[in-house]
Structure 1
Amino acid sequence: MAEHPDAAVVRKGYEAFSTGDMETLRSLMTADCTHHSPGDSRMSGHFKGADNVLGHYGQLMELTGGTFRIETKGIYPDGRGHVMSVHKWHADRGDRGIEMEGGLFFTIVGGKVTDIDECVADIDEADAFWEQQTD
């Protein structure tokens, strides 16, 4: 049985993220794609536009010295332009490490991602790991 096209887009996105292939990631998003990250930390907020979304992903890597990684557990399309993914993310930051379950809820239009809503198992723990933005 063939994979649903929307699930294939998300799977390709996870693969590109995992290999640092930002060109492929960009090709999977609309120009005005938005990523919504939960919580109240330097990594929380609404990142609108492909450049800002990719910048957000770059900051994940920068803040963790390149240790941020995702282990995909499942990708589930609804056949109506939405895909839910479940994963575990791992990262080290300074003397602190984190491993947490999470997921993304994608909206896909015309074969491209338009919106990504992120969920994490423990928002407070994620906030503590990322810390507040310092100005």
Structure 2
Amino acid sequence: MTHHEHPDAALARRGYEAFSSGDMETLASLLTGDCAHHSPGESQMSGHFKGRDNVLAHYGKLMELTDGTFRVELKGVYPDGRGHVMCVHKWHADRGDRGIEMEGGLFLTIIGEKVSDLDECVADIAESDAFWGQAE
């Protein structure tokens, strides 16, 4: 059987590859100008980041707070064929004397072959909040 990847799944994979390689130009090209990333919890990394520039700044802060150790290991990409993709991953980071490894995912909404909405989920919101802490 031949595997034909759905275009929405391919878009999601390109986004993860761009993020992982630090290619923010490519990542920006995959997002709508008015996209939003929604992060769970009550930490300094939680909230609603609206607009491509704010979403990219949020990703930059992930790297800043972890001295560049933040990384994501993509485990699965599941499109519904109607403009949504569920991505499952494991993320890893070090911050100060603390490390974290946690499963999570992104639920993407795709409009016009670009990602317009990223809803983030994590396996343990309280643990994620403890890792990220409050704004300094």
Sort the TM-score into its range (normalised by shorter chain).
over 0.9
From 93, 97, 100, the counterpart of 1:98: 100
Q: Distance in 1 between matches of 2:134 and 2:44?
A: 5
CA offsets, 1:49-86, max 9 Å, x none? 00000000000000000000000000000000000000
Q: What TM-score comes out, normalization by structure 1 length?
A: 0.98
- Report the 3-state secondary structure (helix = DSSP H, G, I; strand = E; otherwise coil) of the residue aligned with 1:41: coil
Alignment match, 2:68? 66
1:55 aligns with 2:57: yes
From 51, 76, 79, the counterpart of 1:77: 79
From 22, 25, 29, the counterpart of 2:24: 22
Q: Distance in 2 between matches of 1:5 and 1:53?
A: 23
From 116, 119, 124, the counterpart of 1:117: 119
Question: Which runs of structure 1 show a deviation greater than 4 angstroms over 4 or more consecutive aligned residues?
Answer: none
Q: What TM-score comes out, normalization by structure 2 length?
A: 0.98
Unaligned runs of 5+ in 1: none
Q: Distance in 2 between matches of 1:42 and 1:112?
A: 27
Alignment match, 1:13? 15
Q: Distance in 2 between matches of 1:47 and 1:4?
A: 27
From 39, 44, 47, the counterpart of 1:45: 47
Alignment match, 2:36? 34
Unaligned runs of 5+ in 2: none
Displacement of 1:2 in angstroms is 1.8
Alignment match, 1:87? 89
Q: Distance in 2 between matches of 1:87 and 1:119?
A: 10
* Amino acid across the alignment from 2:5: E
Identical positions, percent: 78
